[in-house]
Amino acid sequence: MSQNLAAPATPAPLAEFLARQERIGLLRFLTCGSVDDGKSTLIGRLLYDTKLIFEDQLATLQHDSRKHGTTGDDIDFALLVDGLQAEREQGITIDVAYRFFTTERRRFIVADTPGHEQYTRNMATGASNAELAVVLVDARHGVLTQTRRHSFITSLLGIRHIVLAVNKIDLVDFDQGRFNAILDDYRAAVAGLGFRSLVAIPLSARFGDNVIERSTRTPWYTGPTLLEHLETVDVDADAAVRPFRMPVQWVNRPNLDFRGYSGTIASGTVRRGDRVSVAHDGRASTVTRIVTMDGELERAGAGSAVTLVLADQIDISRGDVLATPGAPSSIGDQFDANLVWLTDQPLFPGRSYIIKLGTRSLSGTITRIRHRTDVNTFEQVAAETLGVNDVALVSIALTAPMALERFAESRELGGFIVIDRLTNATVGVGMIETIAQSATNIVWHQMAVDKEARAAQKRQRPAVLWFTGLSGAGKSTIADLVDRKLHALGHHTYILDGDNVRHGLNRDLGFSEADRVENIRRAAEAARLMVDAGLIVMVSFISPYRSDRDAARERFEAGEFIEVFIDTPIDECRRRDPKGLYARADAGKIRNFTGVDAPYEAPAAPELRLRTAEAAAETLAERVIEDLRRRAIII
């Protein structure tokens, strides 16, 4: 006998609840401020007072309050979000803690961010997706340096709505004069940061005054409670009225009969029958279907995850941006941006990174630090490098044009992250300030006599042999021997030697890490022009940083860049010491000398590895010639 195995129907009260939750909005906000201002306690109080703590959680909280708490016999609400053992032991927030809670009027995702200066990068992470910031100030201490720092970073990250929560008002006897003085100080501190709304609330997170319920101990305060304001503040007004934008996340091809373009709508709305265009080339088509997991729609707006089906078969791929035809995004490969540096590894202009913007990733170079901002005073100061938690206005050049918008107009197409090419770690977060209009007007002029024609005349294929290794390894010696052999065979070559180039093109550069980065960038650009002339170019530079050599490789076509690692032990280099440099470096007369007090990063997978301790320079040079023949660079 068969049985009906259909899933049981959802109980009516639960179904009504789920339907209601789908209709109410979502607000993402963060708490920030200085150490011990009560950020974690405030979130814990919100969760407790909105009845979102289960009985077992409450029992654990009571137990932990006795063990780790700082509120005597009272419940320490901060322990609800200070989850790391180190946080509980030190009584501070280190990582970003996210919590979800809901009321009848709105759903919330709140990020509790750390207050200590050394965790500013964590705070920036929490702010990256927030729409509102609750800036806490201890009523006893008022506006502090970290208050200003966090407010500045929230402004950079596009947050335009601020709640100034003057916490611990009970510790100043609910004094209205103290509250007003702090509000005046804060308004003066953030003047010019572009906040659209600023609501100040006197509260006590520990005792719940003006958090959920209006406090009878602040009769002079007539504004909303914190929860009332969070439930009603309008943070979505702009996204819906801006032109339609949707970065394509992936091309949806479940079968041969369906092709759709999936992504989350960044701004504006789209309707079935609307015309949309691909931002970078203007090709347009008509939307025939708007598909979601819950069925097809007639209309979708900002924040909706959809798959658009178009009437025409046009070439669209991940990273492209669909837009309103009459109001396309800017297309460019150069822009200025505010950058928050997140890592202890310094930033140096000229070094290549991966820039991930929207759904597309490109190689890019931070070409210039225009100024660093002192986040304590907002003063703009000159800088050659950036360290952890530094904020600066920088210029960035990408390797190809892409759809760009100012961050003030679009977080999705104006905000980006910077990724280290070797470690794949996120090292910076940026917000586009201005787009260089000239970037799309500068076009490589294609000559009638091209690279292939010049190389064919010389009976060779153009290439660059990038010799790298420690000082004294034998780079220049082997490169010179290779050059002589190629010349004798009738080939056209040139050598870019590190020392020689520093007499002219790079004579303005020293040996700091920033100058070494720029030294290699210029050498790579010069070599690229010579390869375009059809030459075989020997580049003999220490080039100690792997990321800089990888960036140099990217400037050439496939097969044109041959990395030759002159692998010589440092003890052997010291023994040779042809210029006496190691002896001077050991005596402290030369600073930042590679192998002594500056690092050398050996190639991970060079095309050629030449061990000078195992063979004579003449033999190794002949190996290079044989490799060039094998690659058909020479005949």
Residues with catalytic function: 543
DSSP one-letter code for 79: G
Cα-based torsion angle of the residue sequence 127, 145, 65, 43 in order, rounded to the nearest 10 degrees: -30
**Residue 326 burial class via C-beta count within 10 angstroms: exposed 0-12, middle 13-18, buried 19 and up:** exposed
d(CA 429, CA 417) in angstroms, rounded, equals: 4
Percent of residues in the chain assigned helix, strand, coil, to nearest 5: 30, 30, 40
d(CA 154, CA 125) in angstroms, rounded, equals: 10
CB 549 within 8 A of CB 524: no
Give the tokens for residue 278: 């691909």
- Measured CA distances, 5 to 12, 121, 469, 590 (Å): 20, 52, 71, 81
Give the tokens for residue 309: 């089906």
DSSP one-letter code for 444: P
H or E element, residue 355: strand 352-357
CB neighbourhood size of 540 (10 A): 29
Buried b (16+ CB within 10 A) or exposed e, 587-602: eeebeebbbbebebee
Per DSSP, the three-state class of 128 is: coil
d(CA 149, CA 337) in angstroms, rounded, equals: 18
CB 234 within 8 A of CB 255: no
Give the tokens for residue 27: 């607000």
- Say if strands 463-468 and 561-567 run parallel, antiparallel, or are unpaired: parallel
Give the tokens for residue 406: 């100012």
With tokens 């909303």, the residue in question is: 224
d(CA 32, CA 119) in angstroms, rounded, equals: 11
d(CA 547, CA 421) in angstroms, rounded, equals: 7
d(CA 32, CA 146) in angstroms, rounded, equals: 9
